[in-house]
A = this chain, B = another copy of it.
Amino acid sequence: MGAGVKPRVAIVGGGFGGLYAAQTLTHADLQITLLDRRNHHLFQPLLYQVATAGLSPGDIAYPIRAILRKQKNVRVLLAEVVSIDTGRRLVHLKDGELGYDFLILATGARHAYFGHEEWEINAPGLKSLEDALEIRRRILLAFEKAERATEEARRCALLTFVIVGGGPTGVELAGAIAEIARQVMVSDFRAINPREARIFLVEAGPRILSAFPEELSRAAEEALTKLCVEVKTNCPVTSVEPGRVGLGEDRYPAATVLWAAGVMASPLAKSLGVPLDRVGRVLVEPDLTIPGHPEVFVVGDLAAFTHQTGKPLPGVCPVAIQQGRHAARNIVRASAGLPLEPFRYWDKGNLATIGRAHAVADFGRFKISGFFAWLVWLFVHIFFLIGFRNRFIVLFEWAWAYFTFQRGARLITGDIDRYNRTPSL
């Protein structure tokens, strides 16, 4: 780059990593381009609430260009990135290309089926707003179809929900579906009793919430059991077919199977030509760059950062936020001729919520579960949500749901004809 020409920074992905990187560069003398194939930043920690009819898509998403409106050194482009040419320092778009001096790659991960991609159609996962609306449609449709079912066996299958994966997303989905069945819908039907719905949370490992201390796993399991969720640990899924799921040796009828069991990094990682881990994440250097390219940073769910504990940091927002900020600061250092600094994750704790007014929280020495943990969960999530409007509406929706036992977004939307095409129903 010539003297007087501002270095060009390309940020790919407007999730937590990319967005916080861009915001950290507010006062930097750089030309920044943030690329995303969506027009909105998505607050993924609350996506399960869109899937379970508690919130609307607009409540947890915010237009990226509106967030960065006042930051004049950033332009935001809606574009799909297909590959990175690190040799020529080019981002290849579906319809064009973009040169860079520094690159931050923050394209995240999708859910994965590890060799059983054919399961996806019968067991959708939860990563985008579209996923959330598809899951919402399936949950609500199952009750609607059960109300009309004439055979007992079909009604039972329609009222059976299997959530695969005992991590925070699986726990949150199971708790919310139990609430819908046992509280929200309870007087809405004439032929069925929604309380008869069975909700299974199945986990291949020995306990749910395995990233949490054992005592909190136990507390979460107890809380779920109280909500009548049947928790099955050491229970690998062996098949997923329309209307049926295999658990171990047995096959159970279940119209709705939801997948919260695994992730796979964005395929963009492959185009970097550097070593990836088993789930496709980039094995980054201690300073978050990739081997041989000190101008290319990878952050968030796309990065496998193993230099702190020996195993990769978890795919959670705080890691993405801290890495995005760190990569941005390293770019400022590099453009000032200073050496890059290694990243260090500051683990502030771990939270998961279980249905109505119950959560578990792990702050190292300090572990809590129950109502107070839920209040902590609530305020942390409201705090990180972007925009006054979204905070206000989400708080209102929660208060309303808390006092009325209702949910504000019980809509089945989408192509009418899909109602009958949905394979598992």
Contacts and interface: CB of A to CB of B under 8 A. Distances in A.
The dominant DSSP class at the A interface is mixed
A324 to B, nearest CB: 21
A58 B147 contact: no
A57 B410 contact: no
A406 B389 contact: yes
A187 B393 contact: no
Contacts of A190: 75
B414 A40 contact: no
A80 B189 CA distance: 18
Q: Which of A141, A188, A404 has the most CB of B within 10 A?
A: A188
Interface string A36-77: 011110000000000000001111010101100110000101
Contacts of A144: 39, 77-78
A189 B65 contact: yes
A234 interface: no
A279 interface: no
Contacts of A70: 187
Nearest to A78: B144
Interface in A398-425: 400, 404, 406, 408-416, 419-420
A226 interface: no
A148 B95 CA distance: 10
Copy number of this protein in the oligomer?
2
Given A77-B148, A80-B416, A58 B409 contact: yes
Interface in A379-400: 388-390, 392-393, 396-397, 400
A102 B267 CA distance: 59
A191 B410 contact: no
A138 to B, nearest CB: 13
Contacts of A95: 420
A151 to B, nearest CB: 13
11 contacts: A38-B412, A39-B410, A39-B412, A40-B411, A58-B408, A80-B419, A96-B148, A130-B413, A389-B408, A393-B397, A396-B396
